Amino acid sequence: MREVHVQPSRDELFALYECMLLIRRTEERLREENRAGNLPGAVHLYIGEEAIAAGVCAHLRDADMITSTHRGHGHYLAKGGDLEAMMAEIWAKRTGICRGMGGSMHVADFSRGILGANGIVGAGFAIATGAAFSAQLQRSGRVVADFFGDGASNQGTLMECLNVASLWQLPLVFVCEHNGFSEFSPAATVTSGRIFERARAFGIPCHVVDGNDVAAVWQAARNAVERARGGGGPTFIEAHTYRVQGHLEAENLFLGEQRYRDAAEIEAWKARCPVARTRGQLESGGPAQVERLREIEARVMARVEAAVRFAEESEPADPQLAFSLMFDGHRP
Ligand SMILES: Cc1ncc(C[n+]2csc(CCOP(=O)(O)OP(=O)(O)O)c2C)c(N)n1
């Protein structure tokens, strides 16, 4: 299939910006609430990586599907997940998207093709491959995007899934979010070679992109999703980015005085912030665009505040519900 090099239009760039900003402001609020001790569980933040979820999901339809990771708020929101229900889930409330049973690492909404964040590293490969196989069998025209980290790419199931995805030409886009770390291990200490070459060995077309450049991700994803939808099979995108936050919030409780990276490295990557970069591009378009950015900021902030209020004011989850959901009412 011929690759087309198209840039997002101005309106598309505004939409990408709004999506990234929603993820950023949501997570900044979660960081604050976590520090204040208001969240019942851990949160793994996606701050600095927003361009990948936004750039890929921009090409997905409602019926398309995604699989996600333990760092999954951004994927959920970019795929159109409900913000209030996600916040209530993170606060362990009855109104949560999984009725408060899953928390941050399990936000899922099958009705929107969000097959779930997942605390098991690399679990998304097989879920995504199965979903893509089902889409192919049903000739539904649905496409699946599988988000995973560089650390996850060392799981053996990736090889099995690359194999069948290529063999059966499944409508699947593998999206490796190469943020440089697997927990507290720099990628160079746990990952050999270049990750995309694993996919190339199975004959899968590969793209390596700057994951902090939303237009670059958008363009690579556009070709990949079109190829998948048109029956052309899988594509592998390796998007380079950086995890500017800790592996999880409050990681210092684990690490004590130990450090696994330099503060200067973090600052250098913060200067490449995908949200600020896109805002800068749009601001240079003149006063009308600056005004539009201001409106977006206000709209996003209002949505985030409303979602926090909704979560805070909702009833706590009912722990008994876990039994009926797990055992269909037949408690062992
Ligand atoms: C099967 C499995 N092994 C180990 C872990 C512990 N663990 C949680 S996150 C993580 C690192 C994942 O790194 P990566 O896939 O690069 O994602 P990132 O956290 O960088 O987004 C590990 C090893 C786990 N949750 N599941």
pLDDT tens, residue by residue, 214-224: 999 999 999 99
Atom of ligand 1 nearest to the CA of 178: 16
Instruction: Please tell me the predicted confidence (pLDDT) of residue 275.
Output: 98
| Residues whose CB falls within 8 Å of the CB of residue 190, separated by 6 or more in sequence, listed in order | 151, 154, 182
Instruction: Please tell me the predicted confidence (pLDDT) of residue 21.
Output: 99
Q: Are 72 and 248 in contact (CB under 8 A)?
A: no
Atom of ligand 1 nearest to the CA of 243: 20
- Taking CA atoms only, the protein residue closest to ligand 1 atom 21 is 149
Ligand 1 center to 121 CA (angstroms):
5
Mutate to test the pocket of ligand 1, among 46, 154, 183 (most ligand atoms within 8 A of CB): 183
Mutate to test the pocket of ligand 1, among 52, 182, 191 (most ligand atoms within 8 A of CB): 182
Alpha-carbon distances, residue 116 vs 60, 104, 175 (angstroms) = 16, 10, 15
Beta bridge partners of 175: 147, 237
Atom of ligand 1 nearest to the CA of 149: 15
Residue reference for tokens 């196989």? 133
Atom of ligand 1 nearest to the CA of 152: 15
- Taking CA atoms only, the protein residue closest to ligand 1 atom 22 is 183
Atom of ligand 1 nearest to the CA of 122: 1
Ligand 1 center to 102 CA (angstroms):
18
Residue reference for tokens 């053996």? 156
Ligand 1 center to 181 CA (angstroms):
9
100, two tokens: 């408060």
Alpha-carbon distances, residue 239 vs 146, 149, 201, 213, 321 (angstroms) = 13, 10, 18, 9, 40
- For β-strands 144-149 and 65-67, DSSP reports them as parallel
- Taking CA atoms only, the protein residue closest to ligand 1 atom 9 is 183
Q: Which residues line ligand 1 (CB under 6 A)?
A: 69-71, 119-121, 149-152, 179, 181-183, 243, 247
Which residues in the chain land under pLDDT 50?
none
Question: Euclidean distance between the first and final Cα of the chain, in Å?
Answer: 55
pLDDT tens, residue by residue, 188-201: 999 999 999 999 99
Distance, CA of 111 to CA of 218 (rounded, Å):
24
Instruction: Please tell me the predicted confidence (pLDDT) of residue 332.
Output: 57
- Taking CA atoms only, the protein residue closest to ligand 1 atom 17 is 149
- Taking CA atoms only, the protein residue closest to ligand 1 atom 18 is 149
